[in-house]
Amino acid sequence: MKTLKKLAYVATAIASMAVSHSVIAQQSIDDPARAGYYDTVKGKKVVFVPVFMGLDLTEGWSKMMAKQATALGYDYEVRNSNFNTAAGAQTITSLISEKPDVLVVQNPDVQSYARLLKRAEDAGIHVIQLNMKTNILTTGFVGADVIGLGQTQARAVVAKCGGDTPGKILILAGPPTSPFSAYMLKGYENILNDNPKVQVVGVQSTGAYESAKAKSITQVVLQQHPDLCGILGVWDNTDIGTAAAIAEAGKGDQVFVSTSGGGGELACKGIREGMWQHYVSYDVPGQSRDLNALISAALQDTQVVGSTKTILYTPLVEYTPENIDSQFCWTLDTIR
Amino acid sequence: MKAIIQNMKLDQQAIVAVLFGAIFVVFALVLPGFLTFGNLLALVRSVSVLGILGLGMAIVVIGRGIDLSMIASLAIPTGVVMTLVIAGYPPGVGLFVGLAFAVAIGVANGILVAYAEIPPLFTTLAVGIGIAGIGQSGLFEYDIIPWPPELNVIAWIGRGSIVGIPYSVLAFVVAAFLVHVFLSRTRLGLFIYAIGDNLAAARNAGIPVRPIIILKYVMAAVIAMFAGLVLSASSSSMDTRIFNLGWIYDVILVVVLGGIGLSGGRGGVANVIVGTLLIGTIVNGMTILNVSFEAQSLIKGLVLLAAILLDSILNPRNEETAKQGDI
C-alpha cells in the first residue's frame, strides 16, 4: 500500500512537471507596451535647475534622477544656479530655446521664476517643480506640503509649550520670499492662532538659511528670554546653529526645538545628540521616487503640455527621540 | 553752525564712534535687557568673526589693496581641515594642510598683484571665485560640512567661555591686539602704511615693496582661515556657500565705515573695532525689537549712508585730500 502511494506521488510529480513545462512555453507572451515605452523615453532630455547643488537634498534627488535616466536611456543634465536667482532665471531662459523635454526646477522663491516657467510650458517643455513651489502650477509638483509641514511642527511645539504654563517660542524662518518661509509661516499661524496662550517672542529670518545667523539670533533671544520654551526652525542644516546656541547656553533640557529636512543622516544625528527633539522629514528617497514617476509620465505624455497638472505632496514622517531607532536616515551611499 | 562743526575736526572714525555711542545709549534707554552683561557679550560674540575678518581686510586696505577672496579663504581651507579629519587624518595634519592651502591662496594673490601688477580688485575677485569653485565642485561631498568630533580638541576657539567671556570674543580681542602690534609697532607694519600712502616713494626709500605686498595677502588669508575655524567651531559646521552670500561686503563695510580709506595708508585696528561694534549694535537691537529681515537691511543701509554723508559734509574732498585710486 505504501509503495503504491509513493509510486502515485512520483507519477503525479512527473506528470505535473511535463504539463507545467509545456504551459510555460505556451504562455510566454511579449508585453505589447514594453518596447513602445522604452522607445518613447529613449534619447529624450531632462534638465534639473536646482537652487544649489552640494546639499544633501539636491545631491540625493539628482543621484536618483540620474539613475533612472541611465536605466531608461534618456539624457539627464544639471544646471546649477549656485544660489543666484538671476543666474537661474538666465539658465531657464536659455533652456526655453534649447527645448529639453522635461525641466525640473527647484524655486528659490514663490515669485521669481513663475512667468518663465509658464513660458517654458507654452513652448512645449514639461515643467516639474521640486519641493519649492512658485505661486503657479505647472505639469507637476513633487515636494512637501509646506503648510502642512509647518502645522505639524507647530503642533509638536504647542504640545510642549502650550500647557498649563504657556511658554515663549521663537520662529526662525528662511529667506522672506522663499516658499519654505512664506508657506511655513502660514502653517505655524494656522496652529498658533488657535493657541493664543503660546507667546511668540520673535519671528526672524536666518538670511539664506545661514546657521551662523540662526546661532546669533538664538543667543540674543535667549538673553532676552531666558525662559524660552520652544523654537520652530526652518531646516536641519540651519538649525545646527540654533542647537549650538542652546547647547552653549546650557538650556538643552529646557528649549524644545522642532525642525525639518530631507531625513538624511543629519536628521538622526540631531535627534540622537539632542540638537532637536522633533523633526519632520520630507523623505528625499520617497520624493525621488515620486519625481521619477512624474518625469516618466511627462516623457510619455502626448497631450498638449500643461493640460494635466499633478501635485504629489510627499507623505511627511515625524522623527522623535522615541521612534528614532526605527527610522531610516539615508546617505548618498545608501539612497536607492 | 557748519563752521563750528568743521572746527571740531571730526574724522570718519570719530563720527562713527559718536553714531555708535548715540545708538547704544538709545537702545540702552529704550530696550529692556539691552544693557546687560549677557546681552553685550552676545552682541560682541555675534560680530566677532566679522571683526576678525575686518582685521585681515584692514591690513590689505591700509597697504592700498583689497582682498575679495577672504570669504573663500575663510571657507575652503577650513573645509579642507574638517574634510581631512573626517577622512581619518589626525587634526594636526589637517590643520597643517589647511594652513598651507590658505598661505598658497595668499601667495597667489600677492604674486599676481605685486609682480604681474594686476589690480587687486580683479585678482582677488578671480582667485576667490576660483578657490570657492574648487571647493564646491570637487573637494567636498556636501557644501555644508559638519564639525568632526575628532577636531573637538580645538573646538573651544568657537565655543564655551572663560570667566564668563566667550572664547570667540577673546579670539577677536587677541587677533585685534596682535594686528595692532604688527601695524603700529613693527617695521613691517609701518612699511605697509608707507606702501599704502605712496608706493613709489616707499620703493625709492628702499622698502622691498613686492615681497611685503605678498606678505599682506598671506596675512589676510591666514587671518580669514582663523576666522573660519572660529565660525565653524561655533556653529558646528562650515557652510561653504557663504562665499555666495555677499559677506565680503559686510567686511569691507566694517573697514570703510570705521574710517580706513580705500585709498590706503590711513587707519588702524581701532577703526575696525568701532565699525564692527556699530554693525553689531544695530543688528542686536533690531533682533531684540523683532524687526523684520527686510526692514533690518533697510535700516542698516540708512545708518551707513548717514555715516558716509556726514563724513563727506564734515570732511569735504579737495585736491589735497583726494587721491588717485580713491574709489
* Cell numbers at B25, concatenated: 545709549
Q: What angle do CA A185, A189, A195 make, to 5 degrees?
A: 145
Tell me the pLDDT tens digit for each residue of A153-205: 999 999 999 877 678 999 999 998 898 999 999 999 999 999 988 999 999 99
A176/B245 touch (CB, cutoff 8 Å), yes or no? no
- Residue B311 pLDDT class (50, 70, 90 cuts): confident
- Window 17-36 of B: residues touching A by CB (8 A cutoff) are 33, 36
Which of B136, B142, B297 should we substitute to test contact with A (largest number of A Cβ atoms within 10 Å)?
A: B142
Measure in Å the smallest separation between the Cα of A299 and chain B Cα atoms: 30
Instruction: Specify the 3-state DSSP secondary structure of A139.
Output: coil
Eight-state DSSP code of residue B156: G
Q: Is B272 exposed, middle or buried (0-12, 13-18, 19+ CB in 10 A)?
A: buried
Question: For A28-77, where are the alpha helices, taking DSSP H only?
Answer: 34-41, 56-72
Q: Would you say residue B327 has pLDDT above 50?
A: no
When mean pLDDT is compared across B37-41, B177-181, B262-266, B319-323, the lowest value belongs to B319-323
Q: Give the pLDDT of residue A54.
A: 86
Per the structure, the complete domain to which residue B160 belongs is given by 50-253
Average pLDDT of span A312-319: 96
Element (H, E) at A102: strand A102-105
pLDDT (mean) for A196-219: 92
Q: Does residue B112 fall inside a structural domain?
A: yes
**Rounded CA gap, B112 and B121, in Å?**
11
Determine the distance in angstroms separating the CA of A14 from the nearest CA of chain B, rounded to an integer.
59
Classify domain A146-281 at the CATH superfamily level.
Response regulator (3.40.50.2300)
- B37 vs A: CB within 8 A: no
- CA–CA min distance B42, chain A (Å): 6
What ipTM score was computed for the predicted complex, to two decimals? 0.83
- Topology alike, domains A35-144+284-314 and A146-281: yes
Give the pLDDT band of residue B3 (cuts 50, 70, 90). low
Is there a domain that residue B310 lies in? no
pLDDT at A91: 95
Work out the minimum CA distance from A186 to partner chain B, whole angstroms.
16
Taking every pair of Cα atoms in chain A, the longest distance, rounded to a whole number of angstroms, is 94
pLDDT in tens, B152-208: 888 888 887 888 888 999 999 999 999 999 999 999 999 999 999 899 999 999 999
| Residue A308 grid cell | 494635466
Query: What is the per-residue pLDDT across B120-145, written as a single tens digit (0 to 9) for each?
Result: 999 999 999 999 988 877 788 788 89
Q: Which helix (H) or strand (E) holds A168?
A: strand A168-173
CB of B143 less than 8 A from some CB of A? yes
Nearest C-alpha neighbor of A102 from the set A298, A260, A303, A279: A298
Are residues A131 and A57 in contact, defined by beta-carbon separation less than 8 angstroms?
Answer: yes
Tell me, yes or no, whether B137 lies in a domain.
yes
- Residue linked to cell 519641493: A131
Q: What is the mean pLDDT of residues A15-21?
A: 56
Residues of A with CB under 8 A from a CB of B: 52-56, 59, 82-84, 175-176, 201-205, 207-208, 210-212, 214-217, 219-221, 223-224, 237, 240-241, 243-244, 248, 266, 332
Nearest CA in chain A to B142: A54
Residue B108 clears pLDDT 80, i.e. is over it: yes
Residue-level pLDDT at A130: 96
User: How many Cα atoms occupy the beta-carbon half-sphere of B41 within 13 Å?
Assistant: 18
Rounded Cα distance, A75 and A159, in Å: 48
CB contact under 8 A, B36 and A216: no
- The confidence score (pLDDT) of residue B245 equals 77
Amino acid at B5: I
The class level of CATH for A35-144+284-314 reads: alpha beta
Judged by CB atoms closer than 8 Å, whether chains meet at A212 and B235 is answered as yes
Give the gyration radius of chain A's Cα atoms. Answer: 26
Q: How far is CA A130 from CA A177, A248, B27, B162, in A?
A: 17, 36, 44, 47
Q: In chain B, which ranges are continuous DSSP H helix?
A: 2-7, 12-30, 37-62, 70-86, 91-114, 120-134, 167-185, 187-197, 199-204, 209-235, 247-257, 269-288, 293-314
Task: For residue A264, give the C-alpha cell.
Answer: 538624511
Tell me the average pLDDT across B296-313: 80
Residue A52 CB coordination number (10 Å): 22
For residue A185, which amino acid is it? L
Task: Examine residue B303 and state whether it is found in any structural domain, yes or no.
Answer: no
Domain residue limits, chain A: 35-144+284-314, 146-281
Closest chain B residue to A170 measured between Cα atoms?
B290
With vertex at residue A68, the alpha carbon angle to CA A64 and CA A73, rounded to the nearest 5 degrees, is 145
Res B320 pLDDT > 50: yes
- Which string of DSSP letters, residue by residue, matches B35-58? SSHHHHHHHHHHHHHHHHHHHHHH
CB–CB contact A54 B292 (8 Å): no
Q: Do B38 and A223 touch (CB under 8 A)?
A: yes
Q: Cβ separation of B142 and A240 shorter than 8 Å?
A: no
pLDDT tens string B242-287? 887 778 988 988 888 888 878 888 889 999 999 999 989 998 999 8
For the ranges A229-238, A286-295, B281-290, the lowest mean pLDDT is seen at: B281-290
pTM check: above 0.80: yes
DSSP letters, B223-276, are HHHHHHHHHHHHHTEEEGGGGGGTHHHHHHHHHHHTT--TTSS---HHHHHHHH
Tell me: the pLDDT tens digits for A129-153?
999 999 999 999 999 999 999 999 9
Predicted confidence at residue A14, as pLDDT, reads 59
Asked if the model's pLDDT at residue A3 lies above 70, the reply is no
Select the residue of A210, A221, A244 nearest B239 (Cβ to Cβ).
A210
Buried b / exposed e over B98-136, threshold 16 CB at 10 Å, is: bbebbbebbebbbbbbbeeeeebeebbbbbbeebbeebb
pLDDT for residue B299 is more than 60:
yes
Residue B321 within any structural domain of the chain: no
| Interchain contact B234–A (C-beta under 8 A) | yes
List CB contacts (< 8 A) between A241 and chain B.
Answer: 235-237
B130: its cell numbers: 576660483
Distance CA B244, CA A191 (A): 35
Beta bridge partners, A310, equal A140
Number of domains in chain B: 1
Question: Is B227 among the domain residues?
Answer: yes
Reduced to 3 states, what is the DSSP secondary structure of residue A29?
coil
B45 and B166 Cβ atoms separated by less than 8 Å = yes
Question: 3-class DSSP state for residue A223?
Answer: helix
pLDDT of residue B96: 97
Q: Is B28 inside a domain boundary?
A: no
- How many residues would you count in chain B? 327
